[in-house]
Amino acid sequence: METIAKERYKTITSDFSSETGDSIIDYYTEAGPDYEYWSKNFNMHFGFADQTWDCLSREKMLQRMNERILGTLALKKGNKVLDMGCGIGATVRFGSKHYPSVKFIGFTITPWQIKKADAIIKAAKLTDVEVKYGDYNKLPIKSGSIDAVYGLESICHAEETSKKGPLKEAYRILKKGGRFTMIDGFIKKPEKELSTLTYKMYRTVCENWALPSFPNINDVSSELKELGFKAVSIREISWKIAPSAVHAPFVSLFFLVKKLIKGEKLKRQNWNNLKACFTIFFLGLCRKSIGYYEITAKKD
Ligand SMILES: C[S@@+](CC[C@H](N)C(=O)[O-])C[C@H]1O[C@@H](n2cnc3c(N)ncnc32)[C@H](O)[C@@H]1O
């Protein structure tokens, strides 16, 4: 499965993988285990500091982000929810504990993550939750069969700054009245309008986190409307993310020191993750160019 997945994905990743040599699957297979240093529950996203004291616990902020994104979907008993790019299933696992009688399905293109998620789900005896292999540009799901779809820091891996592929797929699989939410880092202007320094940091993050580009907030909003989504609502939540983003360089440093003390050799993907974690902190300070947003929409 891994070889087929890699082959299928080579074309999609060919332009951005030329500098680091990594595809999305290579990156997440090699650097994936490093995320345990960021979150004991393998939350592979930034946290949401909803209340003042949240800042004291990174894991609390990370779980709050799960609470936040699922809270936007107005979930009801019997609903079927799909996670586009679920990682090790942190959000679907959180959902299965907090929303009884709601069915959660997560899709990822990284086979290692499926194995790891399966083991965690089995050990925790969670029900109504599964993590499966699937490319969010072309999911093995019937049209109009899902009540809610979301992407948490995952749709950024799609092609073009409009991220058209997964947005179109979300529209296709949603039932009428179904809800869509995307939470991610965005650029606020076209790439070519970024200052030289911002662009340099931006590309460093893209290359090292296996992203072809960040989504552009205006392009994504236009794309959703063009596809037919209604009630498109955009909220900038950069300040809510900032307290957890501050942790990134420190966690990276801790990871590095621990590995060096143990005498473990770091692979290229581990170094790439470290570089991106340091750079994202400074890139996040470029407030006119970069922001963290929550976009919600509805299929009418
Ligand atoms: C930063 S991780 C976020 C994971 C998860 N949403 C979370 O917050 O813990 C990005 C995820 O997107 C997945 N991904 C990237 N491209 C994908 C695609 N075309 N189809 C499905 N999943 C994809 C990766 O395998 C990875 O699991």
Q: Is the pLDDT of residue 24 over 50?
A: yes
Q: Is the pLDDT of residue 20 over 80?
A: no
Q: Which residues have C-beta within 8 Å of that of residue 163, sequence separation ≥ 6? A: 155, 156, 182, 215, 219, 220, 223
Q: Is the pLDDT of residue 226 over 90?
A: yes
**What was the pLDDT predicted at 190?**
97
Looking at the CA of residue 45, tell me the nearest atom of ligand 1: 8
From 1-5, 162-166, 174-178, 292-296, the region with the lowest mean pLDDT: 1-5
**What was the pLDDT predicted at 189?**
97
Which residue has the CA at smallest separation from atom 9 of ligand 1?
Answer: 44
Stronger pLDDT, 266 or 136, i.e. the higher one: 136
Mutational pocket test of ligand 1: of 157, 159, 164, the residue with most ligand atoms within 8 Å of the beta carbon: 157
**Sheet arrangement for strand 129-133:** 129-133, 103-108, 80-84, 146-152, 174-187, 290-299, 229-236
Looking at the CA of residue 166, tell me the nearest atom of ligand 1: 19
Provide DSSP, 101-152: T-EEEEEES-HHHHHHHHHHHHHTT--SEEEEE-BTTB-S--TT-EEEEEEE
User: If you average pLDDT over residues 96-113, what whole number do you get?
Assistant: 96
Q: Residue 187 maps to which CATH number? A: 3.40.50.150
Looking at the CA of residue 110, tell me the nearest atom of ligand 1: 25
Q: Is the pLDDT of residue 9 over 60?
A: no
User: If you average pLDDT over residues 190-195, what whole number do you get?
Assistant: 97
Distance 255 CA to ligand 1 centre (A): 22
**What was the pLDDT predicted at 11?**
35
Give the gyration radius of the chain's Cα atoms.
18
**Domains: count for the chain:** 1
The residue segments making up the domain with residue 9 are 2-299
Is ligand 1 within 6 A of the CB of residue 163?
no
| CA-wise closest residue to 180 among 98, 69, 291, 65 | 69
User: If you average pLDDT over residues 294-298, what whole number do you get?
Assistant: 98
Q: Which residues have C-beta within 8 Å of that of residue 167, sequence separation ≥ 6? A: 155, 182, 220, 223, 224, 227
Is ligand 1 within 6 A of the CB of residue 43?
yes
Q: Which residues have C-beta within 8 Å of that of residue 133, sequence separation ≥ 6? A: 1, 5, 107, 108, 109, 111, 114
Structure confidence by residue, pLDDT tens digits, 238-268: 999 999 999 988 888 888 888 889 998 888 8
Distance 88 CA to ligand 1 centre (A): 9
Structure confidence by residue, pLDDT tens digits, 141-172: 999 999 999 999 999 999 999 999 999 999 99
Q: Helices 268-283 & 196-208, crossing angle to 10 degrees?
A: 150
Is ligand 1 within 6 A of the CB of residue 136?
yes
Structure confidence by residue, pLDDT tens digits, 40-92: 999 999 999 998 888 889 999 999 999 999 999 999 999 999 999 999 999 99
Q: Is the pLDDT of residue 22 over 60?
A: no
Is ligand 1 within 6 A of the CB of residue 172?
no
Taking phi over 0 as left and psi of -120 to 50 as alpha, with beta for the rest, 122 belongs to alpha
- Mean pLDDT, the chain, rounded, equals 91
Q: What type of residue sits at position 199? A: Y
Confidence of residue 1 (pLDDT cuts 50, 70, 90): very low
